[in-house]
Chains A and B, each alone.
Chain A
């Protein structure tokens, strides 16, 4: 069971959310991620590393002075999307706002947003809330 769970965890971490499910989702920022507004519309994100501080490996990492947070810099377009990931805006509404802000076609804004949200989700910077059918 232990190995099965480990394998599941490894493979699921890399698994991308299905594009149709993504389009029905409402992206929400991970509350443990802090953001810092930089100049020219860019944002610096600080995400805590989940492996730190637990078990022998965590303690060794702490002793070796490994950082406990990972930083990501989002440029203007990414920062615009990040600010809209508040759990209230749906994928469709973010795509529309993105298209209108940066003068993109519908297809272009949806494709860019899909790739970007997949990336944020894989790095656990956001959660994609999808309403399930009862």
Chain B
């Protein structure tokens, strides 16, 4: 399953789930946890071009050592520089394996950890191999089944994670985007027609609707505001995905390929 956030993406097993998502594009932290003891952690921070990565890494390991000392656990670590990245491993309160690398002026800590002493080689290899910083025309965002692609660099202004509903909102100079994912799609569509449900969900009650292969598109143009709404049903995952874009010009309007 893909997890894409703030310009980077990774793959994780289907039964893992995001447990923490904080921060912004310049600095943040994400943890994706397995049902048992494993977790993937990504930390990122804007850095200057000539940053001393070994210093950044030693600071991080010092904090881990301090936590281990507080819990009266022993701590050991190993670091090594190769392929333009610092690779490290640590043992203390559990164990971890990670790498520190700079991509586009952002330092990324990409780490696999466990609160036991189990081997991390295989899951960590999978994490590192799937890690990618976006360089495409559209930027992917994917979390809890909601997967969309939007203009790169948009600011995430609101996030809502509820059981059965995920909602993300972004803004930039060109406009505003809202994407939502609704679980129990079949059960929703058994009670409402797809069109009437999508109109309500997108808050586009008076928009012009067009159906294309059981996907609905809504258009509402006003003098200084262009509204586009898209809704599709994904039967494989029993979910409904909607995307609403509001912009001042055609340059900012969304298209179908934004719903991946």
Chain B positions within 8 Å of A112 at CB level: 163-164, 183
B178-198 residues with Cβ-Cβ distance < 8 A to A are 183-184, 186-187, 190
A75's closest neighbor in chain B, by CB?
B187
Q: A76 to B163, alpha carbons, bound, how many Å?
A: 17
A102-124 residues with Cβ-Cβ distance < 8 A to B are 102-108, 111-112, 115
Query: Of the candidates A76, A107, A111, A115, which one forms a contact with B187 in the assembled complex, judged by CB atoms under 8 Å apart?
Result: A76
Q: A124 to B238, alpha carbons, bound, how many Å?
A: 31
Chain B positions within 8 Å of A77 at CB level: 184, 187
* Chain A interface, DSSP helix/strand/loop, else mixed: helix
Q: Is B14 an interface residue (CB 8 A)?
A: yes
Q: Is A132 an interface residue (CB 8 A)?
A: no
Given A76-B187, A111-B163; A106-B238 close (CB under 8 Å):
no
B15, A104: Cβ atoms closer than 8 Å: no
- How many A-B contacts if CB must be within 8 Å? 39
Return B127 CB to nearest CB of chain A, in Å: 19
Q: Is B29 an interface residue (CB 8 A)?
A: no
A40, B190: Cβ atoms closer than 8 Å: yes
Q: A69 to B190, alpha carbons, bound, how many Å?
A: 30
Q: Is B144 an interface residue (CB 8 A)?
A: yes
B33's closest neighbor in chain A, by CB?
A107
Query: Of the candidates A75, A103, A105, which one forms a contact with B17 in the assembled complex, judged by CB atoms under 8 Å apart?
Result: A105
Which bracket fits the contact residues of A?
10 to 19
Return A97 CB to nearest CB of chain B, in Å: 15
Query: Of the candidates B35, B184, B237, which one forms a contact with A106 in the assembled complex, judged by CB atoms under 8 Å apart?
Result: B35
Given A108-B163, A115-B163; A102-B184 close (CB under 8 Å):
yes
Chain A positions within 8 Å of B14 at CB level: 105-106
B187, A108: Cβ atoms closer than 8 Å: no
Chain B positions within 8 Å of A106 at CB level: 14-15, 17, 35
Chain A positions within 8 Å of B236 at CB level: 103
A105, B145: Cβ atoms closer than 8 Å: yes
B183, A104: Cβ atoms closer than 8 Å: yes
Please encode chain B, from 188 to 231, with 1 for each CB lying within 8 Å of some chain A CB and 0 for all others: 00100000000000000000000000000000000000000000
Interface centre among B14, B35, B163, B190 (most CB of A within 10 A): B163
Q: A115 to B165, alpha carbons, bound, how many Å?
A: 14
Chain B positions within 8 Å of A75 at CB level: 187
Q: A40 to B17, alpha carbons, bound, how many Å?
A: 32
Q: Which 3 A-B pairs have the closest CB atoms?
A: A111-B163, A103-B238, A107-B17
Provide a sorted-by-A list of 26 A–B residue pairs whose CB atoms are within 8 angstroms.
Answer: A40-B190, A75-B187, A76-B187, A76-B190, A77-B184, A77-B187, A102-B183, A102-B186, A102-B238, A103-B236, A103-B237, A103-B239, A104-B183, A104-B184, A105-B144, A106-B14, A106-B15, A106-B17, A106-B35, A107-B144, A108-B145, A108-B164, A111-B163, A112-B164, A112-B183, A115-B163
Given A77-B187, A102-B183, 20 extra CB contacts under 8 A: A75-B187, A76-B187, A102-B238, A103-B238, A103-B239, A104-B183, A104-B184, A104-B238, A105-B14, A105-B15, A105-B17, A106-B14, A106-B15, A106-B17, A107-B17, A107-B144, A108-B145, A108-B163, A108-B164, A112-B164
